[in-house]
Amino acid sequence: MHIPIGLNIWSRLVEDTFPYLDRVVTPFDSLWFPDHVQYGSHKVAEGWTLLAFALARYPEKLCGHEVLCNSFRNPPHLAKMAATAQIISGGRFVLGIGAGWNEEEYLAYGWPFPPAHTRIAQLAEAIQVIRALWTDAPANYMGEHYQITRAYCEPRPSPLPPIMVGGAGEKHLLRVVAQYADWWNYPYTDLETYAHKQNILRAHCRAVGRDYDEIAQVVRVGILIAESDDAVRRLQTQPFVRRLEGGVAGTPEQIAEQLLTIIAQGAKRITVHFADSPRIEGTHLFAEAVMPLLRA
């Protein structure tokens, strides 16, 4: 079975984003952008702007976010933005969305930062609002957090974009995945944790009457790759290489082995981001030496 491999882009590349992508994008089936507005005083690119530019620049690629912060945009307006993106791109948009987590951004930009369970409840309502706008004309929704009355989203998107929910919170977030997600975006740390989160999701699916196998699992993996173990160790000491939170580091054969294990565990898509980007050497080595092993 062919497993699509997508490329995830770091928010701090900013002006280096598209020069990097122009050189490495060809072998990847899809592009995935972040949604942040600040990390202290670091340069950070805004995620929807990146996506709109990419949809036009790479007309053969599926594009989405890993993942949008629900709190940053009014959900009915987001439904309209997504519908437009789907229509003008010819059906190449995926709506990746999550509950948000980075308190710094909320406080700096003036967004309320309620407790996590409230943000997740808002996410659940937002997905219902978005789906209503995509399928009903006019659409109505009366929730605790969001309300719409006789709202139109014309033209409605066709086909409907998949809604991918990102996160791994066991009590509330994975229940939202079970109830409302077409795809689940999981940030990989290790195989044991991934298997545990899958079991939690299975339990939520049973509780809400959902078929677990209906939900496509999209696993995001950080990569640091070099030709040899010694070269990997040397890279890890370089100031331009970012520290991986989870993820995998190694030679092409070692990386392929670990990704094949993730696929065997249930991943239907893999998205990768490279700790040495916008340096292109790691991305090229992955495309040339790892992707053929995954497809074999």
Task: Could you please state the CATH topology (level 3) that the domain comprising 5-295 is classified under.
Answer: TIM Barrel (3.20.20)
Whether the CB-CB separation of 217 and 267 falls below 8 Å is answered with yes
What does pTM read for this prediction?
A: 0.96
Pairing of strands 93-98, 30-33: unpaired
User: What six digits make up the tokens of 100?
Assistant: 């948000």
pLDDT tens-digit profile of 30-80? 999 999 999 999 999 999 999 999 999 999 999 999 999 999 999 999 999
d(CA 204, CA 151): 32
Backbone angles phi, psi at 216, to 5 degrees: -75, 130
pLDDT per residue over 130-189, tens digit each? 999 999 999 999 999 999 999 999 999 999 999 999 999 999 999 999 999 999 999 999
CA distance 36 to 43: 11
Domain chopping of the chain, boundaries: 5-295
